Every structure is written in C-alpha cells, then in structure tokens.
Structure 1
Amino acid sequence: MIELTYLIETPGSVEKMAAKIASDQSTGTFVALAAETDELKARAAARVLSIETLEPVERPSWPESEDGPFNRALVTIGFPFDAVGTDLSALMTIAIGGTFAIKGLTGLRVVGMKLPEEFRGAYPGPLYGVEGSRRLTGVEGRPIIGTIVKPALGLLPHETAELVGELISSGVDFVKDDEKLMSPRYSPLEERVKAIMPRVLDHEQKTGKKVMVAFNISHVDPDQMMRNHDIVLAHGGNAAVVNIASVGMGGMAFLRKRNQLCIHAHRNGWDVLTRHPGIGFDFAVWQQFWRLLGVDQFQINGIKIKYWEPDESFVRSFEAITTPIFEPADRALPVVCSGQWGGQAPETYQRTGRTVDLLYLCGGGIVSHPGGPAAGVVAVQQAWEAAVTDIPLEEFAKSHPELKQSLEKFGDGKAA
C-alpha cells in the first residue's frame, strides 16, 4: 500500500472530506455505479487510514468559502499498490494531482508519502550521490566548497572561461552554471564547454585536482538534453545542472537511462508548489520523486538566505534528502546555497546534525571577497574549520586574515 498524508482544510466535516478524497481518487465518482462492487472496492479503492484533528483556523487558505471556522486535520490515505503500481506519473496523478480539484476544500497540502517495498529497485536512483560526489571532487572530511559563474547571464564563452579559470585556480572544488544559463545565442553550450574544459583539464594535469564543473544541459526536448550531456562528457566533463521542474519527470527518466554525469538538480519552480503553508507540497514528498529518478545533488537553499524560505524549512529539506528512501546509497548530496558565505557555517553545522556531508555553494561570498576568489575560498574553508571545532568565528578570525576580511565584508549578511 502507498500511503499519502494530507493537511486537509474544509468548512465542513474533515471525515467526510477524507472519505471523498479516497473515493474520488480511486474507484468512486459523483454518482453511484453498479460496477462499483464490494469486490472491486477491495481490490482498487483507497481508504482512510488515520485522522489527526488539528485546531481550526478563521481564514481559509483558498477563498472557496468565507464562512469559518475552517476545520483542519492530518489525514493519511492508503492507495492499493495494484491500482497504482510503480509508475511515478500514475502516483502523481492518482494520489496527488486530482486531489486539488475536489470541491469543498479551502486548503490542501501533501505533507507525507511512504512508498512500499515494491518501489525498491524500480528506479535507478542516484548514480553518484553523496559518496560519488566526494570521489569525483576528491574532497573528504569537510564540505565540498562550490561557487557559481557570475554574472549569470551575458558573458561570452571566452569570458566565461576566463572567470572559470580564475575560480578553479582559487582552490574551489566545484563551479556551476546558473540555472538561468542554458544555451543562449551569445553563449551556446557547446562553445562554452569547449572554452572551459581545457582549463579544467590543464589544472588537473598541473595539480592532480579535477574541479567539478557542472554545465547546464537542461532542455525541454529529451533528445537534445541527451546530446547536451554527450557534449559535456566528450570534452572531459563530469557534472551537469538540470532544472528538474522544467524538464519534467519524463525528461529526467530519459536522461538517467544512459547518464554518466553527476546530476546537480536545481529546483526552480518548486516555490509555487510550496510557498503557501496550507497548499501544495512539503519538500519531503516532492524530493522523493526526483531521487528515485536519479538526482545526485539537490539544491535546497540554506540558513539566512536571500529568498523567502525560513531556516526551519531548509533544515527539514536537508533532513529529507539525507534520509534513505530504501538504501543509504539513494541519498542525494545536500547543496546549501542562496546568499551563503562563511558566516552561516556554524549554524548550518549545528542545525544539520553536525555533518560535513554537503556541498556549500557560495556566489558573492567567494567571488566578491576583498582579497579575490582565492581568499574567498580560503575564508569559507576557515569558517567551516571553526564551525566543526566549536570556535566562534570572531575568535578564529583573529589568526585567519581571510576569514577576518570576510566577516568585515559580509557581516551584514549581504553576500548574495
């Protein structure tokens, strides 16, 4: 049985609404049918497993009704595996998609999903994940330190290569294309790859360290996305940015079939699904689809970010993608990002279970350091060293000038 937990809000009976969702999303319809026999229901009907009543609210999440109070409850509904199978599109349609159309709801949020053993091995999952990302970057015992090509748009291929060359010589472990940079006319992906990868490989020859550069291969046409993958691979690359919500589950599944790159997932578009607390998805549900399909690294924002998401949501997202669905190997590497610099390292370390299994992605926090990108990388490394040894940053900075400069520059939190 596949179990979905919903936060239901309605001016009427929560119990009746829960039963309606279970019926409408399986065997029932708006009128009774002779074919809906007890035998058929036993085989294919969803059923309500539990209801946990919550305090009602005075204002509705959706303005379907103005007559409050509005009753709320956490409702778990079980969908028979035989009626859904392991097809993720069927699961999304039956257990999630259609529920939002049901009349009488003033709010609905999908907050939990528990998949049965039949899903174990049904999808490939990450090719690299946490351990593979560490192996490819050669980083152990500390966070992988990454940065982003800035400005995100407008640079020509040779200009981008100059900047990436400076970044990889700075000691950074990871560099990525921005999610907005795919293959515009002024910077086609193939030209960008051809300009950048010789610098990456030359640096590897000289130092033995191959910096992971993730090129944005996203495309609505899965065949073209696969060709983009092949361009990166043919020139010695080992990573790709994929805008997962934009390419869709089908595109991601197509790519993963013969993918050889480390897939760095950007979740742009997810906010529209989750920003209202009474509507949409919890990330803990949504991310399971993408991990099963093969995401290796997952951007999840961070502490004190430049966007709307509160710190508590980031912590829950971190916990979600580092919790195995079935096996430890199906975990994705958390990518902590959005206005990050060394100043958030101590709280990030404390609130994520004192772990360094993450990619710490800084934009301005590295490239805008007063001493240049190399000093920016060192400052972030020093911040993490202070964090894991429980030394306050201000104290550690007294003997570490790069961190001291970083604190002076970004202490107001403006490192975006």
Structure 2
Amino acid sequence: MIRLTYRVEAPGDVERVAAKIASDQSTGTFVALPGETPELKARVAARVVAIRPLAPVGTPSFGDPHGQEPARPRTFNRADVDIDFPLDAVGTDLAALMTIAIGGTYSIQQLTGVRVVDMVLPPAFADAHPGPQFGTPGSLRLTGVEGRPIIGTIVKPALGLRPAESAAMVRELVEAEVDFIKDDEKLMSPAYSSLAERVRAIMPIVLDHEQKTGKKVMYAFNISSADPEQMLRDHDIVADAGGNAAVIAIQSVGFGGLSFLRKRSRLVIHAHRAGWDLLTRHPGLGLGFKVYQQFWRLLGVDQFQINGIGAKYWEPDGSFVSSFADVTTPIFSPRDTALPVVCSGQWGGQAPETYERTGRTLDLMYLCGGGVVSHPGGPAAGVRAVRQAWEAAVAGVPLARHAEDHPELAQSLAKFGGPSGDA
C-alpha cells in the first residue's frame, strides 16, 4: 500500500472532498461507471484512512479562480488526510506515482488548496530503483574527509568566466585544501566555456594536486541537459578525464533523464533543486520537501542541496532543519540516504547554529560560494576561515573568541557581519 498525506482545504465538507480525491485518483470519474464493481474497487480503489482536522483559514490558498472577490467573508476548512493507494493500482514507476497520487489532485474543483505533506512507500520501491551509488560514505571516502564537514565552494561569477579564468580560481582553491568545488547550476556548456574545454582546463590541476599531496579535490561539473544521451556523453567526458562528480539540475532534467544517467553513471550525482520553489513556496499548495526528495533519492542522487541557516533566499531556518532530517532519514535502509549539502549564503558564521540544530553531526557538506571567493584575503583565505568556524563550532568556542588568533575568520566576521550575511 502507498500512503499519501494531503493537507486539504475546502469551503465545504473536507471529508467529502477527501473521498472525492480517493475516487478521482483511482477508479472513479464524474458519474457512476458500469465496470466499477465492488471487486474492482476492493482491488485497486484508493481509500481514505484518516482525517485530522486543522484550524480553518479565512483566505483560499488558490485564490478566487474567476478573479472576483467573494461576496462575503468565508471560512475554508482544512485537514490532513491520509489516503492509501493499492500498489496494484500504481506499480513502482515514479512517473505513475506522480501522476496518479499527486498530479491530478490539484485539478479537483471543490478544493481551494491542497499540499502533499507526506508519503510512505512499500518495500517494492526499494527493489525497483537503484538509490544513491555513493551517498554520504562514498562522498567522504572520495574527498578523504574525516571528523569534519566536507568544505566546498562554487566557481564564481556564476556566468562569464572562460575556462582559463575558471582554472586559475580552481588552482588557488585546490592549493588551499578545499574539499569540493562545483560549477554553478546556471553554467552548463555555453560557447565561451564549453564543458569539454572546462574539463581540459580544470582536471589537470586537480590531478596534479592529487599526485603531489595524495588529496583529490572533488570537482562537480554541470552536465545537466534535457537530452539524456547528451548528458551521458558529457558524463563520459568528465569520467574519462579522471573526474568523479557531476552537478545535475534535477528539476530541469526530470525523472527520466536522471534515471537514464544513474543507471550508467560512474560519477557522484550532486543534486541542485532549482525550480523546486515553484512547487512548494506557497504553504497551502504544492509539495513538501519530505515527499519531493524521496523521488530523487530513489532515482539515485548522492548529494542533495537543501539551503541552510540564515539562507539568502526565502526558506526559513526551520524548513532547512526539516529538510536536513528528511534526506538523512532512511526511506528503506541507510544506504538510500543522501549527503545533505548546506548552502545558500553560507560563510562560516552559521556553522555553530548549523552544528547544533542538525544534531551535532559532521556528516554534511558545507558549501559556500561568495562566502569563500569573496573573502577579503581571497578564496584560499575563505576556505581557511570556514574551517576555522567549524573548529570553533565543534569545540563550543564563540566565533569572536576563536577569531582572536585566527585572522582569516576575523576577516570573515568583519566582512559578512553576522549569521545572515548575504554570501
């Protein structure tokens, strides 16, 4: 049985609307059907198994569909509704699951709001999908990191740098002993910086440093493409050059694209969720991350970007903390968890709160873009400052005190000014 939890909002009887969701998304339609026998319903019909009322609201989440103001104030009832879908009716295909259990729900006329907030899948899904190939253990092993977070950064500016300019920055970061570097999600393969040219410029620096020091910095090249075969060709360019990671804009490449790649991949898949905000930003509509991330983990992402404390975007800290728990909680077993990537405006100042609110764990990637490359002392000093911030966080030492004999951290505190610094 597949269980979906919907946060339902309607001007009338929520129980009746819940029953309509179950009917419309399985065997029913707008009239009784001759073939809709009791036997068929018992085998494949979805059914409502629980309704938990919530406080009503005075404004419909969908708004007035006809662009007219309501004639008088109204109350819109809400509840969390659990609906079970028989596995026989859906199967283990994730496109079918999205279509049947989630997609059509939003078109039901009686709803003024609906949000999918939870999903519990049967073990058959574990057998049907590969899950992460590397996950947290593989990411730590490949970066050679123990006893601290993986410290990462992003080549900035996001767009405009030519391969030689990107390589110059990479050289400085590699020599500063950063653990991970990535292309920005917006940089794919433009004429001024094709993927093949970036790989030729950057990988010799990574491999030369590995030969000298034994440490191989993980560089994730952006190979996202709407064409799965092109994505695979780009994957091979990276892997054949000695690379070990790729950035995938999962929302843009889709389920099919990621599935095609994962089954053939030799690279760590670093998931960027650009576009997810379209599905979730309104609290009464869309998908909760707890549901969304299960699809992508089953399909095989190894590292998952989830924003961070004091993020520069809209997401509140509580949402980040929940997302951290989501990607690190097994769906079926520990091997299907993904490495949480803490990002979005991070620079080190958020390290103490991140450490405390995520359960004092060090199994994460701490990814800083401007928080590293915009450091007053340069990117190498930025890397050292972030490491110093995490040393202080784990030791329970206030950042200002630790900065007294760590000049790079002191410069960060002066530059970014506090946990909400826009980096």
TM-score range, shorter chain: over 0.9
Q: CA deviation at 1:415?
A: 4.2
CA-to-partner distance for each residue in 1:210-263, whole Å, 9 max, x for gaps?
A: 000000000000000000000000100000000000000000000011101000
Counterpart pick for 1:186 among 176, 192, 197? 192
Q: Partners of 1:405 and 1:217 in 2: how far apart?
A: 35
Match of 2:211 in 1: 205
* Structure 2 SS opposite 1:343: coil
Please tell me the root mean square deviation across aligned C-alpha atoms, in Å.
0.9
Structure 1 residue aligned with 2:47: 47
* Partner Cα distance (1:298, 1:171) in 2: 22
- 3-state SS in 2 of match to 1:51: strand
Q: How high is the TM-score relative to the length of structure 2?
A: 0.97
Q: Which residue is 1:310 aligned to?
A: 316
Q: Distance in 1 between matches of 2:34 and 2:408?
A: 76
* Residue identity opposite 1:78 in structure 2: D
The one-letter code sitting in structure 2 at the alignment partner of 1:95 is A
Which residue is equivalent to 1:345? 351
Give the Cα–Cα distance (whole angstroms) in 2 for the partners of residues 368 and 331 of structure 1.
32
1:332 and 2:320 are equivalent in the alignment: no
Alignment partners' CA distance in 2, 1:236 and 1:216: 15
| 2:173–2:383 CA contact under 8 A, matched in 1 | no
> Which sections of structure 1, spanning at least 5 residues, go unmatched?
none
Instruction: Tell me the equivalent position of 2:17.
Output: 17
Aligned equivalent of 1:364: 370
Residues 300, 314 of structure 1: 8 Å contact kept: yes
Q: Which amino acid aligns with 2:268?
A: C
Identity of aligned residues (%): 71
For the 8 Å contact 2:126–2:298, the answer to whether it is kept is no
For residues 12-411 of structure 1, the aligned pairs below 5 Å read: 12-64=12-64, 66=70, 68-411=74-417
Determine whether 1:414 maps to 2:421.
yes
Q: Deviation of residue 277 (structure 1)?
A: 0.1
Rounded Cα–Cα distance in structure 1 between residues aligned with 2:128 and 2:64 = 40
Q: Which string of whole-angstrom CA distances, capped at 9 and with x for unpartnered residues, describes residues 185-218 of structure 1? A: 1111001101110011011111111000000000
Amino acid at match of 1:72: R
Q: Which amino acid aligns with 1:161?
A: A
Secondary structure, aligned partner of 1:100: helix
Amino acid at match of 2:151: I
Note the C-alpha offset of 1:398.
1.5
What is the CA deviation profile of residues 360-414 of structure 1, one whole-angstrom value per residue up to 9, with x for unaligned ones? 0001111111222222111111111111111111111122222111111111443
What is the distance in 1 between the residues matched to 2:126 and 2:304? 21
1:76 maps to a residue whose letter is D
Shift of 1:120: 2.0
Runs of 4+ more than 6 Å apart: none
SS at match of 1:342: coil
Deviation (angstroms), 1:276: 0.2
Alignment TM-score, normalising by the size of structure 1: 0.99
Tell me the distance in 2 between the aligned counterparts of 1:391 and 1:53. 45
In 2, the alpha carbon distance for the partners of 1:50 and 1:161 equals 56
Q: Cα deviations across residues 258-293 of structure 1 (Å, max 9, x unaligned)?
A: 101000000000001000000000000000000000
Structure 2 letter corresponding to 1:235: A
For residue 123 of structure 1, report the CA deviation from its aligned partner: 0.6
Tell me the secondary structure at the aligned position of residue 386 of structure 2. helix
Deviations 1:22-57 (A, max 9, x none): 000000010001110100000110000100001110
